[in-house]
A and B are shown apart, each in its own frame.
Chain A
Amino acid sequence: MNGGDTAGRLVRPFTLTGGRTRPDRGDFTLITMVIAVDPPPDGSTRLQPEHGRILRLCAEPIVVAELATRLDLPVSVVSIMLCDLLQAGRIVVQPPRPVSRTTDLELLQKVREGLDRL
Protein backbone atom coordinates (compact mmCIF):
# COMPACT_ATOMS: atom_id res chain seq x y z
CA MET A 1 0.00 0.00 0.00
CA ASN A 2 1.44 3.25 -1.17
CA GLY A 3 -0.44 5.47 1.25
CA GLY A 4 1.04 3.67 4.25
CA ASP A 5 4.54 4.12 2.89
CA THR A 6 4.14 7.82 2.46
CA ALA A 7 2.86 8.22 5.98
CA GLY A 8 5.81 6.19 7.24
CA ARG A 9 8.33 8.45 5.54
CA LEU A 10 6.68 11.51 6.94
CA VAL A 11 6.98 10.25 10.46
CA ARG A 12 10.39 8.63 10.27
CA PRO A 13 12.83 11.58 10.51
CA PHE A 14 10.92 12.82 13.51
CA THR A 15 11.36 9.50 15.29
CA LEU A 16 15.05 9.35 14.39
CA THR A 17 15.73 12.59 16.21
CA GLY A 18 14.10 11.30 19.36
CA GLY A 19 10.88 13.20 18.78
CA ARG A 20 12.71 16.44 18.22
CA THR A 21 11.86 18.48 15.22
CA ARG A 22 14.61 20.39 13.55
CA PRO A 23 14.66 24.02 14.57
CA ASP A 24 13.41 26.57 12.16
CA ARG A 25 15.94 29.18 11.31
CA GLY A 26 15.22 31.97 13.73
CA ASP A 27 13.49 29.62 16.10
CA PHE A 28 15.92 29.93 18.96
CA THR A 29 14.23 29.48 22.30
CA LEU A 30 15.79 30.80 25.50
CA ILE A 31 17.04 27.33 26.39
CA THR A 32 18.14 26.18 22.95
CA MET A 33 21.74 24.95 23.16
CA VAL A 34 24.17 26.50 20.74
CA ILE A 35 27.54 24.94 19.89
CA ALA A 36 30.27 26.30 17.59
CA VAL A 37 31.34 24.04 14.74
CA ASP A 38 35.01 23.30 15.19
CA PRO A 39 36.87 23.39 12.88
CA PRO A 40 34.80 25.82 10.77
CA PRO A 41 33.52 24.37 7.49
CA ASP A 42 35.62 24.88 4.33
CA GLY A 43 35.15 28.15 2.53
CA SER A 44 33.83 30.01 5.58
CA THR A 45 33.45 33.69 4.96
CA ARG A 46 34.82 36.34 7.27
CA LEU A 47 32.57 37.28 10.14
CA GLN A 48 31.69 40.47 11.90
CA PRO A 49 33.32 40.94 15.32
CA GLU A 50 30.07 40.23 17.17
CA HIS A 51 29.69 36.94 15.37
CA GLY A 52 33.23 36.08 16.35
CA ARG A 53 32.41 36.82 19.97
CA ILE A 54 29.42 34.51 19.82
CA LEU A 55 31.52 31.71 18.35
CA ARG A 56 34.06 32.04 21.13
CA LEU A 57 31.33 31.94 23.77
CA CYS A 58 29.76 28.82 22.30
CA ALA A 59 32.96 26.82 21.95
CA GLU A 60 31.32 24.88 24.77
CA PRO A 61 27.54 24.31 24.60
CA ILE A 62 25.62 27.33 25.92
CA VAL A 63 21.93 28.26 25.91
CA VAL A 64 20.62 31.35 24.13
CA ALA A 65 19.58 33.14 27.34
CA GLU A 66 23.04 32.76 28.82
CA LEU A 67 24.67 33.84 25.60
CA ALA A 68 22.55 37.00 25.54
CA THR A 69 23.57 37.81 29.10
CA ARG A 70 27.26 37.30 28.38
CA LEU A 71 27.02 39.47 25.29
CA ASP A 72 24.86 42.00 27.14
CA LEU A 73 22.45 42.04 24.22
CA PRO A 74 18.70 41.38 24.00
CA VAL A 75 17.75 37.81 23.19
CA SER A 76 15.97 38.96 20.05
CA VAL A 77 19.16 40.52 18.68
CA VAL A 78 21.28 37.53 19.56
CA SER A 79 18.79 35.24 17.84
CA ILE A 80 19.19 37.13 14.58
CA MET A 81 22.96 36.78 14.72
CA LEU A 82 22.60 33.11 15.56
CA CYS A 83 20.51 32.67 12.44
CA ASP A 84 23.37 34.08 10.38
CA LEU A 85 25.82 31.70 12.00
CA LEU A 86 23.50 28.75 11.54
CA GLN A 87 23.08 29.61 7.89
CA ALA A 88 26.87 29.86 7.50
CA GLY A 89 27.27 26.45 9.08
CA ARG A 90 29.32 27.86 11.94
CA ILE A 91 27.08 26.61 14.73
CA VAL A 92 24.86 23.68 15.45
CA VAL A 93 21.84 23.87 17.70
CA GLN A 94 20.03 21.54 20.02
CA PRO A 95 16.40 22.42 20.74
CA PRO A 96 15.10 22.01 24.30
CA ARG A 97 13.89 18.68 25.50
CA PRO A 98 10.32 18.48 24.24
CA VAL A 99 7.91 18.46 27.13
CA SER A 100 5.00 16.13 26.90
CA ARG A 101 2.51 16.18 29.71
CA THR A 102 1.77 12.51 29.46
CA THR A 103 4.80 10.45 28.59
CA ASP A 104 8.09 11.51 30.03
CA LEU A 105 8.07 9.96 33.47
CA GLU A 106 11.75 9.16 33.22
CA LEU A 107 12.67 12.80 32.62
CA LEU A 108 10.58 13.95 35.56
CA GLN A 109 12.12 11.36 37.86
CA LYS A 110 15.57 12.53 36.81
CA VAL A 111 14.68 16.12 37.64
CA ARG A 112 13.27 14.94 40.97
CA GLU A 113 16.49 13.15 41.87
CA GLY A 114 18.54 16.17 40.79
CA LEU A 115 16.54 18.41 43.11
CA ASP A 116 17.05 15.96 45.98
CA ARG A 117 20.81 16.34 45.53
CA LEU A 118 20.59 20.12 45.59
Chain B
Amino acid sequence: MTGSDATAQGVTAPDTVKILIAGGFGVGKTTMVGSVSEIVPLRTEEPLTMAGLGVDDLNGIEEKRATTVALDFGRITISQDLVLYLFGTPGQQRFWFMWNDLAIGALGAVVLVDVRRPESSFAAIDFFERRRIPFVIGVNGFHGLHPYAPEEIREALALPDGAQVLLCDARERGSCREVLTALIDQLIATTARANGHPARTS
Protein backbone atom coordinates (compact mmCIF):
# COMPACT_ATOMS: atom_id res chain seq x y z
CA MET B 1 0.00 0.00 0.00
CA THR B 2 3.00 2.32 -0.13
CA GLY B 3 2.07 5.48 -1.96
CA SER B 4 -1.64 5.44 -1.29
CA ASP B 5 -1.26 7.56 1.80
CA ALA B 6 -1.56 11.27 1.17
CA THR B 7 1.30 12.30 3.43
CA ALA B 8 3.58 9.73 1.82
CA GLN B 9 2.97 11.48 -1.50
CA GLY B 10 3.53 14.92 -0.13
CA VAL B 11 -0.10 15.89 -0.65
CA THR B 12 -1.58 17.94 2.11
CA ALA B 13 -5.21 17.88 3.07
CA PRO B 14 -6.69 19.21 6.29
CA ASP B 15 -7.06 16.80 9.20
CA THR B 16 -10.66 15.82 9.86
CA VAL B 17 -12.56 15.21 13.09
CA LYS B 18 -16.23 14.75 13.82
CA ILE B 19 -18.90 15.23 16.44
CA LEU B 20 -22.24 13.42 16.36
CA ILE B 21 -25.56 15.14 16.90
CA ALA B 22 -27.98 12.49 18.12
CA GLY B 23 -31.47 12.24 19.55
CA GLY B 24 -34.96 11.15 18.57
CA PHE B 25 -36.84 12.01 15.43
CA GLY B 26 -37.70 15.69 15.15
CA VAL B 27 -35.66 16.91 18.14
CA GLY B 28 -33.77 19.41 16.01
CA LYS B 29 -30.65 17.56 14.87
CA THR B 30 -30.71 18.83 11.31
CA THR B 31 -31.59 22.29 12.57
CA MET B 32 -28.58 22.31 14.88
CA VAL B 33 -26.21 21.06 12.18
CA GLY B 34 -27.50 23.82 9.90
CA SER B 35 -27.11 26.51 12.54
CA VAL B 36 -23.38 26.02 12.95
CA SER B 37 -22.34 24.60 9.59
CA GLU B 38 -20.63 26.79 7.01
CA ILE B 39 -22.44 24.84 4.31
CA VAL B 40 -26.12 24.03 3.99
CA PRO B 41 -26.46 20.63 5.70
CA LEU B 42 -25.80 17.94 3.16
CA ARG B 43 -27.59 14.66 3.11
CA THR B 44 -26.48 11.26 2.00
CA GLU B 45 -28.72 8.25 1.65
CA GLU B 46 -27.46 4.89 2.71
CA PRO B 47 -29.34 1.77 1.61
CA LEU B 48 -29.93 -0.35 4.68
CA THR B 49 -29.05 -3.64 3.05
CA MET B 50 -25.70 -2.38 1.82
CA ALA B 51 -24.85 -0.94 5.19
CA GLY B 52 -24.63 -4.44 6.58
CA LEU B 53 -28.09 -5.13 7.91
CA GLY B 54 -29.31 -8.71 7.69
CA VAL B 55 -32.58 -9.40 5.90
CA ASP B 56 -34.20 -10.50 9.15
CA ASP B 57 -33.49 -7.14 10.71
CA LEU B 58 -35.63 -5.51 8.07
CA ASN B 59 -38.72 -7.20 9.49
CA GLY B 60 -39.14 -4.49 12.09
CA ILE B 61 -39.41 -1.83 9.45
CA GLU B 62 -43.04 -1.27 8.64
CA GLU B 63 -42.59 0.84 5.55
CA LYS B 64 -41.38 -1.14 2.60
CA ARG B 65 -40.05 2.04 1.10
CA ALA B 66 -37.91 2.79 4.11
CA THR B 67 -34.91 1.00 2.71
CA THR B 68 -32.53 3.89 2.98
CA VAL B 69 -31.39 5.89 5.93
CA ALA B 70 -30.59 9.57 5.65
CA LEU B 71 -27.58 11.11 7.24
CA ASP B 72 -27.14 14.89 7.56
CA PHE B 73 -23.85 16.52 7.89
CA GLY B 74 -22.29 19.94 8.11
CA ARG B 75 -18.82 21.37 8.23
CA ILE B 76 -16.88 23.85 10.35
CA THR B 77 -13.41 24.82 9.15
CA ILE B 78 -11.39 25.20 12.33
CA SER B 79 -8.16 26.23 10.64
CA GLN B 80 -6.30 25.69 7.41
CA ASP B 81 -5.31 22.25 8.56
CA LEU B 82 -8.30 21.10 10.60
CA VAL B 83 -11.95 20.62 9.65
CA LEU B 84 -14.73 19.57 12.02
CA TYR B 85 -17.69 17.64 10.61
CA LEU B 86 -21.02 17.34 12.36
CA PHE B 87 -23.20 14.34 11.68
CA GLY B 88 -26.87 14.29 12.52
CA THR B 89 -27.50 10.64 13.20
CA PRO B 90 -30.76 8.76 12.72
CA GLY B 91 -32.34 8.52 16.13
CA GLN B 92 -34.17 5.22 16.10
CA GLN B 93 -32.74 2.23 17.82
CA ARG B 94 -33.04 0.16 14.66
CA PHE B 95 -30.23 2.25 13.21
CA TRP B 96 -27.78 1.31 15.91
CA PHE B 97 -25.74 -0.70 13.45
CA MET B 98 -25.09 2.57 11.71
CA TRP B 99 -24.25 4.48 14.84
CA ASN B 100 -21.47 2.01 15.47
CA ASP B 101 -19.80 3.05 12.24
CA LEU B 102 -20.50 6.69 12.88
CA ALA B 103 -19.17 6.61 16.41
CA ILE B 104 -15.74 5.31 15.41
CA GLY B 105 -13.30 8.17 15.71
CA ALA B 106 -15.87 10.70 16.92
CA LEU B 107 -14.64 13.23 19.48
CA GLY B 108 -17.96 12.96 21.23
CA ALA B 109 -21.67 13.60 20.84
CA VAL B 110 -24.46 16.01 21.58
CA VAL B 111 -27.72 14.29 22.46
CA LEU B 112 -30.62 16.60 21.77
CA VAL B 113 -33.70 16.23 23.92
CA ASP B 114 -37.20 17.60 23.45
CA VAL B 115 -38.63 17.83 26.99
CA ARG B 116 -42.14 17.25 25.68
CA ARG B 117 -41.08 13.73 24.71
CA PRO B 118 -37.71 12.98 26.28
CA GLU B 119 -38.14 9.23 25.76
CA SER B 120 -37.39 9.72 22.08
CA SER B 121 -33.77 10.40 23.03
CA PHE B 122 -33.34 7.55 25.53
CA ALA B 123 -31.87 5.21 22.91
CA ALA B 124 -29.19 7.72 22.00
CA ILE B 125 -28.23 8.31 25.64
CA ASP B 126 -28.02 4.55 26.22
CA PHE B 127 -25.87 4.10 23.18
CA PHE B 128 -23.22 6.64 24.18
CA GLU B 129 -23.25 5.62 27.84
CA ARG B 130 -22.69 1.98 27.02
CA ARG B 131 -19.86 2.70 24.65
CA ARG B 132 -18.34 5.30 26.95
CA ILE B 133 -18.44 7.93 24.26
CA PRO B 134 -18.38 11.40 25.85
CA PHE B 135 -21.58 13.36 25.37
CA VAL B 136 -23.53 16.36 26.61
CA ILE B 137 -27.29 16.79 26.65
CA GLY B 138 -28.73 19.71 24.73
CA VAL B 139 -32.30 20.48 25.69
CA ASN B 140 -33.86 22.03 22.61
CA GLY B 141 -36.50 24.43 23.84
CA PHE B 142 -39.11 24.54 21.15
CA HIS B 143 -40.58 28.02 20.89
CA GLY B 144 -37.80 29.16 23.18
CA LEU B 145 -39.48 27.53 26.15
CA HIS B 146 -37.54 25.85 28.91
CA PRO B 147 -40.05 24.66 31.50
CA TYR B 148 -37.54 22.54 33.42
CA ALA B 149 -34.25 23.33 35.10
CA PRO B 150 -31.17 21.35 33.98
CA GLU B 151 -31.11 19.63 37.39
CA GLU B 152 -34.66 18.32 36.95
CA ILE B 153 -33.84 17.05 33.48
CA ARG B 154 -30.70 15.33 34.70
CA GLU B 155 -32.78 13.53 37.27
CA ALA B 156 -35.56 12.63 34.84
CA LEU B 157 -33.02 11.18 32.41
CA ALA B 158 -31.22 9.35 35.22
CA LEU B 159 -27.92 10.89 34.19
CA PRO B 160 -24.80 10.62 36.32
CA ASP B 161 -23.93 13.65 38.48
CA GLY B 162 -21.23 15.02 36.24
CA ALA B 163 -23.29 14.87 33.06
CA GLN B 164 -23.76 18.26 31.47
CA VAL B 165 -27.27 19.37 30.61
CA LEU B 166 -27.51 22.55 28.56
CA LEU B 167 -30.62 24.46 27.64
CA CYS B 168 -30.38 25.51 24.03
CA ASP B 169 -32.16 26.67 20.91
CA ALA B 170 -31.19 24.57 17.90
CA ARG B 171 -32.07 27.47 15.59
CA GLU B 172 -29.50 29.82 17.14
CA ARG B 173 -25.88 29.60 16.13
CA GLY B 174 -24.60 31.08 19.39
CA SER B 175 -26.65 28.66 21.43
CA CYS B 176 -25.45 25.64 19.43
CA ARG B 177 -21.89 26.85 19.71
CA GLU B 178 -22.24 26.91 23.50
CA VAL B 179 -23.36 23.30 23.50
CA LEU B 180 -20.44 22.22 21.31
CA THR B 181 -18.03 24.25 23.42
CA ALA B 182 -19.33 22.59 26.58
CA LEU B 183 -18.62 19.20 25.03
CA ILE B 184 -15.09 20.20 24.01
CA ASP B 185 -14.39 21.71 27.45
CA GLN B 186 -15.50 18.45 29.00
CA LEU B 187 -13.10 16.56 26.72
CA ILE B 188 -10.30 18.97 27.55
CA ALA B 189 -10.90 18.51 31.28
CA THR B 190 -10.93 14.72 30.98
CA THR B 191 -7.81 14.70 28.85
CA ALA B 192 -5.94 17.08 31.14
CA ARG B 193 -6.87 14.96 34.13
CA ALA B 194 -5.73 11.79 32.36
CA ASN B 195 -2.41 13.47 31.59
CA GLY B 196 -2.02 14.52 35.19
CA HIS B 197 -2.48 18.23 34.51
CA PRO B 198 -5.09 20.40 36.13
CA ALA B 199 -7.91 21.28 33.75
CA ARG B 200 -7.46 24.61 32.06
CA THR B 201 -10.53 25.98 30.40
CA SER B 202 -11.12 29.57 29.54
- Write out the residue numbers on chain B whose beta carbons fall within 8 Å of the beta carbon of A102: 191, 194-195
- Interface digits, A89-118 against B, CB 8 Å rule (1 contact, 0 not)? 100111011110111110111111111101
- Write out the residue numbers on chain A whose beta carbons fall within 8 Å of the beta carbon of B105: 29, 31, 96-99
Contact A33 B194, beta carbon cutoff 8 Å: no
The total of interchain contacts (Cβ-Cβ below 8 angstroms) comes to 160
Is B163 among interface residues, defined by CB-CB distance under 8 A?
A: no
Is B107 among interface residues, defined by CB-CB distance under 8 A?
A: yes
- Write out the residue numbers on chain A whose beta carbons fall within 8 Å of the beta carbon of B75: 66
- Write out the residue numbers on chain B whose beta carbons fall within 8 Å of the beta carbon of A110: 78-79, 82
- Interface digits, B62-101 against A, CB 8 Å rule (1 contact, 0 not)? 0000001001010111110011110100000000000000
Contact B6 A114, beta carbon cutoff 8 Å: no
Instruction: Specify which of B11, B71, B177 is in contact with A118 (CB 8 Å cutoff).
Output: B177
Restricting to B1-42, which residues have a CB under 8 Å from any CB of A? 1, 3-9, 11, 13-18, 36, 42
Contact A118 B76, beta carbon cutoff 8 Å: yes
The segment out of A3-11, A47-55, A68-76 that lies at the interface is A68-76
Closest to A24 in B: B1
Closest to B73 in A: A65
Closest to B15 in A: A97
Is B106 among interface residues, defined by CB-CB distance under 8 A?
A: yes
Contact A77 B11, beta carbon cutoff 8 Å: no
Restricting to B183-201, which residues have a CB under 8 Å from any CB of A? 184-185, 187-188, 190-192, 194-195, 197
- Answer whether A115 and B181 are a contact pair too, CB < 8 Å, given A29-B105, A33-B14, A103-B191: yes
- Write out the residue numbers on chain B whose beta carbons fall within 8 Å of the beta carbon of A75: 44, 46, 71
Instruction: Specify which of B68, B71, B181 is in contact with A116 (CB 8 Å cutoff).
Output: B181
Q: A97-B16, A103-B191 are in contact. List 11 more A-B contacts (CB 8 A).
A: A20-B5, A25-B1, A33-B13, A65-B44, A94-B11, A94-B15, A101-B134, A103-B194, A105-B188, A115-B177, A118-B76
20 pairs from A and B in contact (CB 8 Å cutoff): A23-B4, A30-B102, A31-B16, A61-B14, A65-B42, A66-B75, A74-B47, A76-B47, A93-B4, A97-B15, A97-B105, A101-B191, A102-B195, A103-B195, A108-B191, A112-B184, A112-B188, A114-B77, A115-B184, A118-B177
Hey, which bits of chain B sit against chain A, CB under 8 A?
1, 3-9, 11, 13-18, 36, 42-47, 50-51, 68, 71, 73, 75-79, 82-85, 87, 102, 104-107, 134, 173, 177, 180-181, 184-185, 187-188, 190-192, 194-195, 197
